[in-house]
Amino acid sequence: MNRRQFFRTCAAGLGGSSIAMLGFSPQPVLAQVRGFKLARTTETRSTCPYCSVSCGVIMYTLGDNAKNNKPSIIHVEGDPDHPVNRGTLCPKGAGLLDMIHSPNRLKYPEVREAKSKEWRRISWDEAYTRIAKHMKEDRDKNFITKNDKGVTVNRWNTTAMLASSAASNESGYLTVKSARGMGMTAFDTQARI
C-alpha cells in the first residue's frame, strides 16, 4: 500500500464512521485488532550473533517453505525455551531484523583499484583469482623455510590475517586450519581485543 492509497483508505474510514455517527450503522460488539502476522510463518531457531550471552532467537520467515516462495525474515523474537534468555532479548537482539535487512549489507564482491576513488563490482571468480595471485606471489617471494640458525621454520609473515570472533566454530576451524596450512604466523583475531 503506498501513501496515497493509505490516505484514501483512511479517508474512506473517516467518512464511514461519520456516517455511522449519523445513525446508519449497527453497533459493533467486537473490534478487530490488527491481524496476527505470525500465524502462518515458518519458525527457525538460532542464536543471537551479538554478545556472548548467546540468546536463543526464533526467526519468523514469510511463507511455508513451499517451492515458489522465497523465504524472507519478517520478525525475530526471543526463544522462550532457551535456559539463559527465556524469550527475552536486549535492544540489539530485539532489533536483529534491521541488521539482517540493513541497507548497508554487502551483496557483491567489489574491488577498489590502486588510487581509485570508487568500488567496482566484480565476479567471485575474478575476486578469488586476483586475491590468490597476490597471495601466492607474496608467499613465494617472502616465505622463510629456515631461520638463520638453520632451523626449519616454514613461516609466511608478510601477509597477515585478523579473524572474526563472530564467525561460527566451523568457520573458525577452517580458517585456522587453512591459515596454518599456508604457513601464516601473522595471524590473530578480534577475540584478543
Partner 1 sequence: MTLQSSLDIQARSATTTPSPSVRSSAAVAKLIDESKCIGCKACQVACQEWNELREEIGNNVGVYDNPSDLSASSWTLMRFAEVEDKDNNLSWLIRKDGCMHCADPGCLKACPAPGAIVQYSNGIVDFKQEACIGCGNCITGCPFNIPRISKKDNKAYKCTLCSDRVAVGLEPACVKTCPTGAITFGSKEDMVSYGEKRTKELQERGYANAGLYNPAGVGGTHVMYVLRHADKTEQYSGLPKDPSISPLVSLWKGAFKPLALLGMGVTALAGFFHYMKVGPNEVEDEKSREEA
Partner 2 sequence: MTNSWVDIKNADLVLIMGGNAAEAHPCGFKWVTEAMQQRNAKLVVVDPRFTRSAAVADYYAPIRVGTDIAFLAGVINYMLSNDKVHMEYVKTYTNATFLVNDKFSFENGFFTGYDEGKRSYDKSTWGYQRDKSKDEFVMVDETMQSPNCVYQLMKKHYSRYTPELVSKICGTPKDAFLKVAGFIAGTHTPDRVMTILYALGWTQHSVGSQNIRAMAMIQLLLGNMGRAGGGVNALRGHANVQGITDMCLYSEVLPGYLGAPTDADTTREDYLKVRTPKPLRPNQMNFPQNFPKWHTSLMKAWFGDAANKDNNFAYDMMPKRDTAYDALAIFERMYQGKVNGFLCQGFNPLAAIPNKKKLGIAFAKLKFLVVMDPLQTETAEFWKNFTDFNNVETDKIETEVFRLPATCFAEETGSFTNSSRVLQWHQRATEPPGEAKTDAEIMASLFMRMRDLYKKDGGTFPDAIVNMAWAYSNPNNPAPEEVAREFNGKALGDVMAPPDPKNPKEPPKVLVKAGEQLPGFAMLRDDGSTSCGNWLYCGSWSQAGNNMARRDTSDPSGLGVYPNWGFSWPANRRVLYNRAGADPAGKPWDPKRKGIAWNGTAWAGSDVPDIAPALGPDSGAGPFIMTPEGVGRLFAVGLMAEGPFPEHYEPFETPVGVNLMCPSNAKAVSNPAARVYKGDMEQFGKMAEFPYAATTYRLTEHHHFWTKNARANAATQPAQFVEIGDELAKEKGIANGQMVKVRSNRGEIKAVAVVTKRIKALEVNGKKVHTVGIPIHWGFIGLAKSGYLSNTLTPFVGDANSQTPEFKAFLVNVEKA
Whole-number Å distance between alpha carbons of 104 and 163 = 21
**Cell digits for 190?**
578480534
> Considering the complex, what minimum distance in angstroms separates the CB of residue 8 from partner 2?
27
**x-marked contacts with partner 1 along 112-141 as a string, rule CB under 8 A:** ------------------------------
Interatomic CA distance for residues 105 and 102, integer angstroms:
6
Q: Provide the Cα torsion 32, 3, 98, 111; round to 10°.
A: 160
In angstroms, what is the minimal distance from the CB of 19 to partner 1? 8
Single-letter residue type at 121: R
Least distance from C-beta 67 to partner 1, angstroms? 23
Cβ proximity to partner 1, 93 vs 156, nearer residue: 93
Q: Which of partner 2, partner 1, none does 32 bind, CB closer than 5 to 8 A by kind?
A: partner 1
Question: Which among 52, 74, 60, 29 has a CA at the least distance from the CA of 169?
Answer: 52
Residues within the interface to partner 1 (CB under 8 A): 3-4, 6-7, 9-11, 13-18, 20-22, 27-37, 39, 75-78, 85, 87-95, 97-98
